[in-house]
């Protein structure tokens, strides 16, 4: 079965946004002929240019209008420009369902149903820029392939809003922050210099390692620092962790680090989270580095919990 999935570079789901418009600026200048080979059923009607593509309104629907963010139920048949049919839900007898705007389908589909009503039929002429791009897809879709679809809108329905782009990152952060801060407050100040053995971190260093490590990894996630700057901060963090400070200063540093993390997550969106970041020869995204950051906090929270148990300190949330 052919897939309309957009898991390739260059496909973006927009209703009528500027990004989609910019992606298809060359389309208007391209030579276009709605005539298809004899193997493709004829579609009569004027060609409409809208949403970065062209379409023929084969039949106007008289049902509910298709609204952005709804789930659409659609029958379709797809052809290449030479008349080769590459997929058809009609042939399978099973319509496709997708939620508009969530990048579940190619960008041309996300925008191609604007203004339709249930019962309507269209022939979509989707340029490669909002289909599968310059590379195509496997053996089915050649590079730079214009795709032609006959689509029928069978139904629309409202669905719950999509979770925020940063929802997964925020999900466990509240517990992490609450537990780190509660334990740092519960440990008596005289215990902050305690360590289980030589060569390992003290309570103080564990908590400061969380605070300073969070600030460091936020810089990594945002991709704003050079490798030289990151290396210097790593060295400075190690030195600062060893400086004798009181409990109040440790709590202040922890509070500041969590506040910085909240600010970054509050401004994150689906685009910024997928920003590529190169760290010491490894390629990752902002989202990936933020996941590592939260894992780092959890790792050293576990270390602090072990220290607390060894000293007969019961974590406040366990009482």
List active site positions.
76, 86-87, 106, 132, 149
Reduced DSSP (H G I as helix, E B as strand, rest coil) percent helix, strand, coil of the chain, to 5: 40, 20, 40
> Which residue is listed with tokens 């593509």?
53
> Helices marked H in 138-273 — which ranges?
167-186, 203-222, 227-242, 247-266, 270-273
- 255 CB-side CA count, 13 A: 8
Please state, in angstroms and as integers, the Cα–Cα distance from residue 21 to each residue in 51, 126, 270, following that order.
7, 13, 19
Closest CA to 81 of 128, 15, 147: 147
Euclidean distance between CA atoms 101 and 72, whole angstroms:
11
Euclidean distance between CA atoms 1 and 14, whole angstroms:
25
Quick count: other Cβ atoms within 10 Å of Cβ 71?
15
Please state, in angstroms and as integers, the Cα–Cα distance from residue 131 to each residue in 78, 111, 230, 267, following that order.
12, 11, 40, 30
């Amino acid at each position: 079965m052919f897939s309309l999935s957009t898991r390739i570079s260059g496909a973006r789901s927009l209703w009528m946004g500027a990004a989609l418009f910019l992606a298809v600026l060359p389309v208007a200048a391209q030579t276009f002929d709605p005539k298809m080979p004899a193997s493709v059923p004829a579609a009569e009607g004027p060609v409409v240019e809208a949403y970065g593509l062209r379409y023929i309104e084969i039949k106007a629907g008289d049902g509910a209008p298709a609204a952005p963010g709804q789930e659409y139920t659609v029958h379709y048949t797809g052809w290449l420009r030479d008349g080769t049919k590459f997929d058809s839900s009609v042939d399978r007898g099973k319509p496709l369902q997708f939620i508009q705007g969530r990048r579940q389908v190619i960008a041309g589909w996300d925008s191609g149903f604007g203004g339709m009503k249930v019962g309507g039929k269209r022939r979509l002429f989707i340029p490669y820029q909002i289909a599968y791009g310059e590379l195509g897809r496997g053996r089915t879709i050649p590079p730079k392939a214009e795709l032609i679809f006959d689509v029928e809108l069978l139904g629309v329905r409202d669905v719950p809003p999509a979770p925020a782009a940063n929802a997964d990152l925020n999900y466990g952060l509240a517990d992490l922050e609450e537990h780190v801060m509660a334990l740092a407050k519960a440990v008596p100040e005289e215990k902050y210099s305690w360590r289980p053995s030589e060569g390992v971190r003290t309570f103080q260093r564990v908590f400061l390692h969380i605070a300073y490590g969070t600030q460091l990894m936020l810089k990594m996630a945002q991709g704003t620092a050079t490798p030289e700057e990151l290396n210097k901060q790593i060295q400075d963090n190690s030195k600062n962790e060893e400086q004798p400070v009181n409990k109040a200063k440790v709590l202040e540093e922890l509070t500041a680090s969590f506040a910085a993390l909240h600010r970054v997550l509050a401004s994150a969106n689906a685009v910024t989270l997928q920003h590529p970041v190169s760290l010491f020869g490894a390629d990752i995204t902002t989202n990936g580095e933020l996941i590592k950051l939260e894992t780092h906090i959890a790792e050293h929270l576990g270390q602090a919990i072990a220290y607390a148990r060894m000293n007969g300190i019961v974590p406040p949330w366990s009482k």
